[in-house]
Amino acid sequence: MPTSDFEPVIGLEMHCQLKTKSKAFCACPVVFGAPPNTAVCPVCLGYPGVLPVANREMVTLAMRVALATGCTIEETSVFARKNYFYPDLPKGYQISQYDKPLAVGGAVTVRAGGSVKQVRLNRIHLEEDAGKSMHEFPWEDVLTGASLVDLNRSGTPLIEIVTEPDLSSAEEAHEYLVLLRRLVRWVDASDGNMEEGSLRCDANVSVRPKGGTVLGTKVEIKNLNSFAHVKKAIEHEIERQVAALEAGKALVQETRLFEPASGATKTMRSKEEAMDYRYFPDPDLGALVVDEAWKREVAAAMPELPEARAARFTSAFGLPAADADLVCLSRPLADYYEAAVAAHPKNPKALANWLLSELLAKMSDADRHAGRMPVAPAVLAALVRRIDDGTISGKIAKELLVDLIATGRPVDDLVKEKGLVQISDEGPIRDAVAKVLADNPAQVATYRGGKAAAFGWFVGQVMKALAGRGNPGVVNRLLRDALEKD
Ligand code: ADP
Ligand code: ZN
Ligand code: MG
């Protein structure tokens, strides 16, 4: 079968660190980058005889994600022990949820490659993170070949968000992750910081004959440290599986690792070597009960979600859907935009244009997500107001923006001080036009001889004569009048 006769089937599992102050089952603080083993206690160190207590805020944050994705929150869910041995897991099991997760159902709407798709969620469950094994040290010579364990991360609260196998391309998978990251940040459940490991993703990939209804043998890919890696790994894995099937080879269900250097995946363990975790309900923790009152309380505190907000920006402010979506890249950015519109309600479209093309271009990705803006919303509003009322030209405004960012001074003060007020009076513009025409008889003759393209050159000359402050509309009109005369 040629490649085009196969279709990929993808399901994603995303681990997402919840933004709580303390850990999942003890009072230790959740910290990143602290000296090793300084944020630990007998509970998260796994000492015998200690008792875990579930963190209420952890459950609340998970409920926010569940509500944001349209999941059903179960009244009763159960913490289970997932048993395995590893040096970063001293108590020999991870507390997770297994057959009774916190939330089920729900979906995320993904737009990719020109189509819209509902990616169904299978479940959202709670679990705790393990510690971290460290294999490299600055004092390498003393510890060559040794590994140490840092248990600061042990017991950090996570949710795992599992999709149904509804995705059918690497591009869709990437878009899903981008949307989900925006959502967990939007509802303040997670900082969504991939570099610090707040988001971790496993991709399950299979292929099957196009239009088939039976799922193919799946491969789970681990070690995906960025969204770009997820995309690359899926692309590579689809190619590998299709090539194997075309060569008449059977695929085996296995776990593979992505190797960033080669862009390929490599066998880690096969199904036969899969671990049996011997899940059972954790006897130290009672059932997790979420009553109606708690659900209502969490629902009442939910913000307007990104899609609804973008739709409102379109209907209330007349923004094109694509612009509204960009303005809703993050909640702080959408808040910024709305504050600017409140300060200058007459031109929401221009405010969006300035925000998207001028401000965001001057910002880092991290600043965009955090909404760390270079000028206050009122400053952007004042700048656009002065363009709208004809005080300054758009071109001058762009130059002015650089000064506004550098000095933080009021727009009107800078306009006055720098003599930037636009010249709209016909008198001085007419004088400048006359002088340019008189000084350049050869160009005038060329223009009148049919070289209409030379018009732009005249505009440039007149603008230069007016130190760049001429009102472009008036300059164009008077210049055309003068050139078309006789
Ligand atoms: P496991 O029991 O191996 O953990 P699950 O059924 O729990 O498998 O599914 C884990 C993830 O793999 C889910 O996101 C699911 O949608 C996805 N998945 C399951 N089967 C397939 C398949 N044949 N191809 C692609 N993804 C799959
Ligand atoms: Zn602790
Ligand atoms: Mg599973």
Are 184 and 258 within one domain? yes
Tell which of 359, 387, 417 closes a domain.
417
Nearest to 311 by CA among 344, 339, 334: 334
The more confident residue out of 134 and 51 is 51
Condensed to tens digits (0 to 9), the pLDDT of residues 117-136 reads: 999 999 999 999 999 998 87
- Name the closest ligand to CA 10: 1
Tell me the best of 218, 230, 234 to mutate to test the pocket of ligand 1, counting ligand atoms within 8 Å of each CB and taking the most. Answer: 218
Determine the pLDDT at residue 485: 77
Inter-residue contact 268 to 256 (CB < 8 Å): yes
Where is 12: in which H helix or E strand?
strand 6-17
Q: What pLDDT sits at residue 140?
A: 65
pLDDT (0 to 100) of residue 2:
52
For ligand 1, whether the C-beta of 215 sits within 6 Å is: yes
Task: State the Cα–Cα distance between residues 73 and 106, nearest whole angstrom.
Answer: 10
Assess if residue 299 is contained within a domain.
no
Q: Assess if residue 1 is contained within a domain.
A: no
- Quick count: other Cβ atoms within 10 Å of Cβ 90? 16
- Average per-residue pLDDT for the chain: 93
Distance 341 CA to ligand 1 centre (A): 45
How many Å apart are CA 386 and CA 414, to the nearest integer?
A: 12
**Domain ends where: 417, 451, 467?**
417
Find the angle CA(443)-CA(447)-CA(451) to the nearest 5 degrees: 120
Neighbouring-strand partners of residue 12: 203
Q: How far apart are CA 260 and CA 182, in angstroms?
A: 25
Q: In this structure, are 222 and 266 located in the same domain?
A: yes
Segment 156-185 mean pLDDT: 97
State whether 222 and 267 are in the same domain: yes
Residues 284, 375, single domain; the answer is no
218 in contact with ligand 1, CB cutoff 6 A = yes
Asked whether 128 and 84 are in contact (CB, 8 A), the reply is no
Average pLDDT over residues 329-348: 96
pLDDT at position 1 is 47
Residue that wins the pLDDT comparison between 114 and 453: 114
- Token pair in block for residue 208: 């099957």
Residues 98 and 239 in one domain: yes
Ligand 1 atom with the shortest distance to the CA of 205: 25
Q: What six digits make up the tokens of 378?
A: 């009122």
**Residues 352, 213 within the same domain:** no
Q: Kindly state if the Cβ of 207 falls inside 6 Å of ligand 1.
A: no
What pLDDT is attached to residue 332? 95
Token pair for 480:
């055309």
CA distance from start to end of the chain = 74
Condensed to tens digits (0 to 9), the pLDDT of residues 414-437 reads 888 888 788 888 999 999 999 999
Q: Would the pLDDT of 4 be above 90?
A: no
CATH for 468: 1.10.10.410
In a domain, 282, yes or no: yes
What is the mean predicted confidence (pLDDT) over 56-78? 98
Greatest distance between any 2 Cα atoms in the chain: 102
Of 34 and 138, more confident: 34
Whether the predicted pLDDT of 313 surpasses 70: yes
- Clarify whether residues 178 and 270 are in a common domain: yes
What is the rounded distance in angstroms from the CA atom of residue 200 to the CA atom of residue 270? 22
**From the CA of 253, how far away is ligand 3's center (Å)?**
14
Number of domains the chain contains? 3
Q: Which residue's CA is the closest to the ligand 1 atom numbered 13?
A: 11
Answer yes or no: are the C-beta atoms of 80 and 297 closer than 8 Å.
Answer: no
**457 Cβ neighbours under 8 A, 6+ residues apart:** 443
Question: Do 172 and 244 share a structural domain?
Answer: yes
Q: What percent of the chain stands above pLDDT 90?
A: 78
Ligand 1 centroid distance, CA of 459 (Å):
64
Give the pLDDT score at 486: 59
**Can you give the pLDDT at residue 450?**
82
Average pLDDT over residues 164-179: 96
What is the arithmetic mean of pLDDT over 1-6?
67
Could you tell me if 261 and 233 lie in one domain? Answer: yes
Q: Are residues 16 and 160 in the same domain?
A: yes
User: Which domain range does residue 373 map to?
Assistant: 304-417
Beta bridge partners of 11: 204
Measured CA to CA, the distance from residue 225 to residue 473 in angstroms comes to 52
The least confident of 100-109, 122-131, 149-158, 367-376 is 367-376
Angle value at C-alpha 175, between 60 and 335, nearest 5 degrees: 55
Give the model confidence (pLDDT) of 84-116 as tens digits. Answer: 999 999 999 999 999 999 999 999 999 988 889
Q: Which residues contact 177 (CB under 8 A, 6 or more apart)?
A: 12, 14, 201, 227, 230
Contact 185, 191 (CB under 8 A): yes
Residue 182 CA to ligand 3 centre (angstroms): 24
pLDDT at 68 over 90: yes
Ligand 3 centroid–CA 125 distance in Å is: 11
Q: How far is CA 382 from CA 48, 347, 397, in A?
A: 63, 11, 11
The H or E element that residue 18 is part of is: none
The last residue of a domain, from among 264, 294, 324: 294
Residue pair 390/471 in contact (Cβ under 8 Å)? The answer is yes
**Whole-number pLDDT of residue 240:** 96
Q: Is the pLDDT of residue 52 over 70?
A: yes
Tokens at 33, concatenated: 């980058």
pLDDT at site 194: 85
Q: Mean pLDDT over residues 233-247, rounded? A: 95
Residue 485 contacts by C-beta under 8 Å, 6 or more apart in sequence?
none
Give the Å distance between the CA of 152 and the centre of ligand 2: 8
* 289 Cβ closer than 6 Å to some ligand 1 atom: no
Same domain as 70, residue 130: yes
- pLDDT tens digit sequence for 179-188: 999 999 999 9
418: tokens are 């720098």
Q: What per-residue string of b and e applies to 225-263 under the rule 16 or more CB within 10 Å gives b?
A: eebebbbbbbbbbbebbbeebeeeeeeeebbbebeeeee
Taking the C-alpha atoms of residue 163 and residue 11, their distance in angstroms, rounded to an integer, is 6
Q: Are residues 17 and 115 in the same domain?
A: yes
Residue pointed to by tokens 């006359």: 434
